[in-house]
Structure 1
Amino acid sequence: MTSPTLALRNDLVVAPSTSRMRGIANELKERGESVINFAAGELDFDTLDSLKKAAIEAIRGKCNTYTPALGEKKIRQQLAAHVSEQLGVAYAWNEVGMTAGAKQALYNAAMVLINPGDEVIIPIPYWVTFPTQIELAGGKPVLVDTRPEGYQLTAERVAAAITPQTRAILINTPNNPTGAVYDSEALRRIGELAIRHDLWIIFDECYSRLIRNGGEHHSIVTLMPELKERTVIVNSFSKSMALTGWRLGYVSAPEQVIKAMENLQGHTTSNPNVVAQVAVSRALDDSADFIATANAILDARLQVIHEALAGIEHLRVAPAMGAFYVFADIQWFIGRCYGDKPVRSTDELVELILAEAKVAVVSGAGFGDPSGIRISYAVSDADVATGMQRLREFFARFN
């Protein structure tokens, strides 16, 4: 006897390529293989001691019960003050909310903003989850290539993609997978387009505090406060405070959007982890030194990677100014042979890198750009050095 069929929406959902490669690398490590895991999307540092202490105190203090769907009001008040300080634009407690990671905040945004048939402009390369969430909401991703402008989203490209069906523009800066940080003037011009065409902006700035070599991240609402009423800002404690497993993201948006998200989240996950809420609220002011130290370490690692990749002929690297990723253009190698093995696609290339060099990277195909591979340097200094040496030896064998 056969079982009933699954819902048709499952055809829209495949496992994220980032999770797949991370899982394969971890399996090989468990078997005793010496694998360098450049597929990771999280800092290799431990989180703050004050956070861990606050979490333990929260547990001992019997923080075990439900909170409102988007978090405790007192913590949302504190979060609103934090967001207001970071952005230089005032947000009230009912204009912010907490979610089970930034991914839920983005899903909430898609579900409360997008109608079936609406178009959402998404730059390529994109984080793997963006198009899927838009499609699950019934929308249509409209993909805009950033490669011709050095992986920067421009107003000209956005303007060319706008149609009467356009509902929103999704912007991710610092960008995953490229590490690009978008230019402030370009963001202003995109903001002007959003006003002119009455569009929503979904602004993912989860890596806003992880900026390389003294650079600067620009939040679009900081640049243009008049955009506040049409912008959903998504952020996370996961990346900058090294607590990805705690699943705590947050969102800042107009009050009616936050209320709609609260209603939706009340029927999905309900509140995010209460222990994580309390711990972050008690340790939020301790994060600046931790993040400064993390950025200094990441800057040094990026320098090692740039020097190593510069020595690989025919390989080009996107300007990496934020987060902890490098996106390398490997088009020259596709269609050529590694020794006597032909490489027909980027997916085949990353499988070969793992098999031959014991280095896990992520194919750009999952990010909408099969011309590249993503390399994460959120791994130890030793792994960066070893992994880069292995990659140089690997690419030297092409003919």
Structure 2
Amino acid sequence: MKRISSRIAAIAESATLAVDAKAKMMKEAGRPVVLFGAGEPDFPTPGYIVEAARQACGAPRFHRYTASAGLPELREAIAAKTLRDSGYRVDSQQVLVTNGGKQAVCEAFATLLNPGDEAIIIAPYWTTYPEAIKLAGGVPVEVTTDEGTGYLADVAQLEAARTSRTKLLVFVSPSNPTGAVYPREQVVEIGRWAVHHGIWVVTDEIYEHLTYGDTEFTSIVTAVPELADQSIVLNGVAKTYAMTGWRVGWLIGPRDVVKAATNLQSHATSNVCNVAQAAALAAVSGDLSAVAEMRTAFDRRRQTIVRMLNEIPGVVCPEPRGAFYAYPSVRGILGRELRGRCPSTSAELADLVLTEAEVAVVPGEAFGTPGYFRFSYALADDDLVDGVQRITKLFAEAQ
């Protein structure tokens, strides 16, 4: 008899967290590793949010179980924040507070998918989506994009992937791992396509505040209001407020879907940590001045890393319009001799870069598109420059 169930054994480890863990172990051992791996802002959580958590620690109310769906005042605040930031009007009963954005992702798929249902995901995709779909019994169906289209999928590609078993589309803009942002007209086209075919849209909006230049975020549910009854919006405080470790996310959807997901959560984790919820309440209720400061820094780093990467022969990096990731093609380096090795895949090349240059990047295999690297530029400016310079020097040796 197998010790591990087939369902769990089929799940792949999070590649981004695996790279981050290995790199941090090297760093703790005294090696000067530059970390481009995990998507995590390098800023501290704003002080007013931390203070709200401190006060919550002393409140006896938060020493006890609270509602599985979330603190009532936080659910109300999330509904208000959603209207403020994306123009989407919902009530608090349509909000479920989760233990980070990943739990929202997993519960959305678990609530919607039956065994054999197909879920379209656009590659490059965040590494968790296909694993969470499979865990829910669904079948991920990939639509692949590349740098030639700015990593944007069109309706024709989605239609080619649609079958009688298609239940949902995972739509992400701004995107992890590419930083791609869909223009409004394309968002409308995709939303109307989903409405026409009765396809659910699970839209991840966690990078909604991180767009640059004249690029604007468009919520697909706001752009296509008739989609509201067949959509789930995922979000959280992690990226916008530098709160990755606080573990507070949420999903928004029709009341019956939210109630079903709440039932699941009541058995999985009960309520989210009350102190973290109090911190999230301060975050979503406050202004966005701290967010604006972080965005300014990310934009500066974005411009630097794109320029430096495109100066490396064999590397092609489209300009990311949102989030804090660059996703260059490194196919021009593959198959060439480098430090006595001849990496034929981006995974092998990433391992060589970590070993020889002491720079951690995530290979494209993790995101469904071999031949690429993902760089998170949410790190200090000097570290960013140093890390890319090390890669530049290493790749110059390729023969």
In the superposition, the TM-score normalised over structure 1's length comes to 0.97
**How far, CA to CA, are the matches of 1:247 and 1:43 in structure 2?**
14
Distance in 2 of aligned mates of 1:282 and 1:308: 38
Q: Which amino acid aligns with 2:327?
A: F
Following the alignment from structure 2 to structure 1, what is the Cα–Cα distance between the partners of residues 81 and 298? 25
Q: What does residue 211 of structure 2 align with? A: 211
Q: Say whether residues 1:117 and 2:80 are aligned partners.
A: no
Query: Partner of 1:264 in structure 2?
Result: 264
2:97 aligns to what SS in structure 1? strand
More deviation, 362-371/312-321: 312-321
Range with greater deviation from structure 2 (338-347 or 118-127): 338-347
The aligned counterpart of 2:59 is 61
Output the amino acid matched with 1:93: S
In 1, distance between residues paired with 2:287 and 2:388?
30
**CA–CA distance in 1 between the matches of 2:277 and 2:371?**
40
Q: Distance in 2 between matches of 1:327 and 1:352?
A: 18
Greater mean alpha carbon deviation, residues 379-388 or residues 69-78: 69-78
Which amino acid is the alignment partner of residue 28 of structure 2? E
In structure 1, what is the Cα distance between the partners aligned to 2:283 and 2:249? 15
| Map of 1:44 onto structure 2 | 42
Give the whole-Å Cα distance in 1 for the aligned partners of 2:393 and 2:20.
22
Cα offset, 1:212, TM superposition? 2.2
Q: Shift in Å at residue 5 of structure 1? A: 1.9
Q: Any residues of structure 2 matched to 1:1-399 within 5 Å, and which?
A: 5-62=3-60, 63-147=62-146, 148-399=148-399
Once the two structures are superposed, residues 77-101 of structure 1 have per-residue CA deviations (whole angstroms, 9 ceiling, x without a partner) of: 1211111222213101101121001
Pairwise CA distance, 1:214: 4.2
Point out where structure 1 has 5 or more consecutive residues left out of the alignment. none
**Contact 2:95 2:251 (C-alpha < 8 Å) held by counterparts:** yes
- Once the two structures are overlaid, the 10-residue window that deviates more, 291-300 or 179-188, is 179-188
CA shift for structure 1 position 325: 0.5
SS at match of 1:333: coil
User: Is the CA contact 2:238–2:245 (under 8 Å) kept in the aligned structure 1?
Assistant: yes
1:309-368 C-alpha deviation (Å, 9 max, x unpaired):
121012111330111100010112111111432112111100100111110000110110
Is 241-250 or 275-284 further displaced after alignment? 275-284
Contact 1:44 1:380 in 2 (8 A): yes
Distance (Å, rounded) in 1 between the aligned partners of 2:319 and 2:139: 29
State the secondary structure of the residue aligned to 1:291.
helix
Structure 2: which 5+ residue stretches go unaligned?
none
- Please state whether the residue corresponding to 1:344 is helix, strand or coil: coil
User: Counterpart of 1:315 in 2: which secondary structure?
Assistant: coil
CA contact (8 A) 1:152 1:183 kept: no
Stretch moving more, 87-96 or 231-240: 87-96
TM-superposed CA distance for 1:193, in Å, is: 1.3
Q: Secondary structure at the match of 1:317?
A: coil
* Equivalent residues of 1:151, 1:318 under 8 A apart: no
Distance 1:70 1:389 in 2: 47
Amino acid at match of 1:107: C
Instruction: State the one-letter code of the partner of 1:24.
Output: K
Q: Measure, in 2, the Cα distance between the counterparts of 1:58 and 1:261.
A: 27
With structure 2 as the length reference, what TM-score do the two structures score? 0.97
Indicate conservation of the 8 Å contact 1:178/1:319, yes or no: no
Secondary structure, in 3 states, of the residue corresponding to 2:328?
A: strand
Q: CA deviation at 1:287?
A: 4.4
Return the offset for 1:371.
1.5
Check conservation: 2:15, 2:362, Cα contact below 8 A.
Answer: yes
- Give 3-state SS (helix, strand or coil) of 2:327's partner: strand
The letter of the residue matching 1:354 is L
Local SS of the residue matching 1:171? strand
The C-alpha deviation readout for 1:229-280, integer Å capped at 9, x for no partner, is: 1110000101111111110001111111110111110111111111111122
Query: C-alpha distance in 1, partners of 2:191/2:78?
Result: 25
CA distance in 2, matches of 1:230, 1:160: 21
Count the aligned residue pairs.
397
**Contact 2:8 / 2:135 at 8 angstroms: preserved in 1?**
no
Q: Spell out, residue by residue over 1:123-163, the C-alpha distance to the aligned partner (whole angstroms, 9 max, x if none).
A: 00010010011111111111001215220021111111111
Q: Would you say the 8 A contact 1:102–1:235 is kept in 2?
A: yes
Q: CA RMSD in A?
A: 1.3
- Give 3-state SS (helix, strand or coil) of 1:341's partner: coil
Return the alpha-carbon distance in structure 1 between the equivalents of residues 127 and 354 of structure 2.
21
Amino acid at match of 1:17: A
Work out the CA distance in 2 between the residues paired with 1:6 and 1:13: 11
Change (3 A) 1:4 1:12: closer
Contact 1:68 1:271 in 2 (8 A): yes
Structure 2 CA distance for partners of 1:214 and 1:44, relative to 1, 3 Å: farther
Q: CA deviation at 1:179?
A: 0.6
CA distance in 1, matches of 2:293, 2:251: 26
Distance 1:326 1:385 in 2: 14
> 1:319 and 1:158 mapped to 2: Cα distance?
24
